[in-house]
Amino acid sequence: MNVLLPNIDVVTCSRSEHARRLFQDILTGYNKLLRPVQNTSDAVTVKVKLRLSQLLDVVWTDSNINWDPNDYGGVDVLYVPADQLWTPNVVLYNNADGNYQVSAVTKAAVYYNGTVVWEPPAIYKSMCPIDIEWFPFDEQLCDLKFGSWTYDGFEVDLIHYDKDDVQITRENGRLVWIVPNGVDLSDFMPSTEWDVMAVPVKRHEERYECCRAPYIDITFYIYLRRRTLFYSVNLIIPCIGISFLTILVFYLPSDSGEKVSLSVSILICLTMFFNLLVEIIPSTSLIIPLIGKYLLFTMVMITLSIAVTVFTLNVHYRLPATHRFSVWIRYLFLDFLPKLLMMRRPEPEPLSVATADKAPAFELNQSENVIMMTVLPKLGKTAEVAGQSSSSTSPQQTWFDEEENAAIASAVRSTCFIANHFRKKAAEDEVKDDWRYIANWYMLNHAPSAEHSRQQTSDCLKSAETTRVTKQMWNNRFIYIW
């Protein structure tokens, strides 16, 4: 091992000496400001290739730099700082950074036949139009347009590095060279936000009326597609779920007292997601993204639902003492619209006296006990007096005496007052049920709360009808007794 190391050192020093001598020989009298051609009419062919790893491959042939490797100890390649060589001055035309040229000073590989390979690391910032109409399911196209800033097509001929896979066509009267896979993706690290779909390259020759020489540029097109998993989980699915909660506002019964609170809570949540969307998407005034239109439409619908809910609650809690149930409202909402919408209001079940006796059994028994304890004993007493006086012909004796007549009249008046009160209460309940019917059936879009209100309305109608029949029965009984 000790014997081999001196031999390696000797070879290394010898090769370095040849490289130093070669470097001095080829750069002595070399002018980097002149194009490396033997004839001024010749063009320098520059091959350009892009790799998505911060590298730009530029290859050309410098006729001023060539040597015989045998004269320099077999040295066939030399690494020279790029600022000491002629460069084709290739820049990015659609630059958005302000720095058009490569700022990093790197070395270029110079081969014995004059071929110069320059791979400068660079970060390019290009101006790319962004179409966010289908965000986050959008696809973007970004182009990088490279060309020589100083030389025309007769002086520097830009071509793609992979010249064997070239398709020649014409676009708008211009000759275009197309390379389907013009960008090297071997060193590309996959992005967590974008997928690279295609990377074609086009070579254009622009000719202007002022100049005879063409101007050549090579444009790299990068087709990107946004990955939607992050936006679907954190933005789209929550927005859709919150939007569907708007339907529950119409299914929530009006008596719960939480309809407006639920609507306002949904509106606040959607406003928060809309602010999050504004921070995510690029700021542009050209077009509104689809998800932004969806959120705006949903916010408008929720705002309208709040207005409808407020109006519905106003109709639901109307009383006969504050609002009149006009004829046209009754005709429109109770007669015309149900027929037009093929709706049918549940009819109250017919009730008989027997049904009334069975339904409010407790109240009826209590009323009978009161009357039996107060009125009927007096009626029996007066009937007994009337039987005894039937054989007498005294004109001063009557069938009832005045005190007993006053008690019976007072009881009848009280019963009539109670009956009238219940009739009025039943009429008011009927008007309330009509208002609730309008609110639940027409304003709440036939929600399940309307079914609850319909059952409640039917029960109220049954109760009112039962009360009416019961009071009518008691009136008939007292008239019969009287």
Span 250-269, average pLDDT: 84
Q: What is the pLDDT of residues 406-455, one digit of tens each?
A: 666 677 677 777 777 777 777 667 666 666 666 665 544 444 333 443 44
Q: Quickly state the pLDDT bin for 291 (edges 50, 70, 90).
A: confident
Question: Do 202 and 256 share a domain, yes or no?
Answer: no
Q: How far apart are CA 447 and CA 431, in angstroms?
A: 21
Q: What confidence score (pLDDT) does residue 4 get? A: 36
Question: Do 221 and 233 share a domain, yes or no?
Answer: no
3-state secondary structure of 449: helix
Q: What is the pLDDT of residues 74-86, one digit of tens each?
A: 888 888 888 888 8
Question: Do 138 and 205 share a domain, yes or no?
Answer: yes
Q: What confidence score (pLDDT) does residue 111 get? A: 92
Q: For the ranges 204-213, 309-318, 343-352, which has the lowest average pLDDT?
A: 343-352
Domain total in the chain: 3
307 within domain boundaries = yes
386 within domain boundaries = no
333 within domain boundaries = no
Q: How far apart are CA 423 and CA 420, in angstroms?
A: 5
Contact 224, 142 (CB under 8 A): yes
Span 207-224, average pLDDT: 86
Question: Do 84 and 54 share a domain, yes or no?
Answer: yes
397 within domain boundaries = no
400 vs 130 pLDDT, higher one: 130
Span 455-470, average pLDDT: 45
Question: Do 121 and 43 share a domain, yes or no?
Answer: yes
Question: Do 119 and 162 share a domain, yes or no?
Answer: yes
Q: Quickly state the pLDDT bin for 8 (edges 50, 70, 90).
A: very low
Kindly state the percentage of the chain with pLDDT values over 70.
67
Q: How far apart are CA 106 and CA 121, in angstroms?
A: 8
Span 155-183, average pLDDT: 80
Nearest to 294 by CA among 369, 352, 236, 343: 236
- Residue 203 clears pLDDT 70, i.e. is over it: yes
Question: Do 368 and 277 share a domain, yes or no?
Answer: no
44 within domain boundaries = yes
Full 3-state SS string of 124-173: CCECCCCCCCCCCCCEEEEEEEEEECCCCCCCEEEEECCCCCCEEEEECC
Q: Give Cα separations from 205 to 31, 172, 240 (angstroms).
A: 29, 11, 50
Q: What is the pLDDT of residues 470-481, one digit of tens each?
A: 445 444 443 333
Q: What confidence score (pLDDT) does residue 223 get? A: 92
342 within domain boundaries = no
- Residue 392 clears pLDDT 60, i.e. is over it: no
Nearest to 110 by CA among 75, 72, 159: 75
Q: What is the span of the domain harbouring residue 50?
A: 23-226
- CA 327 from chain centre, in angstroms, equals 45
Contact 80, 108 (CB under 8 A): yes
Count Cβ neighbours within 10 Å for each residue of 53-82 and write b for 16 or more, e otherwise. Answer: eeebebbbbbebbebeeeebeebeebebeb
Question: Do 190 and 51 share a domain, yes or no?
Answer: yes
340 within domain boundaries = no
Sequence-separated (6 or more) residues with CB below 8 Å from residue 319: 428, 432
Which pTM was predicted? 0.60
Question: Do 112 and 92 share a domain, yes or no?
Answer: yes
Question: Do 184 and 68 share a domain, yes or no?
Answer: yes
Q: What confidence score (pLDDT) does residue 103 get? A: 61
CATH of the domain at 169: 2.70.170.10
Q: How far apart are CA 180 and CA 164, in angstroms?
A: 12
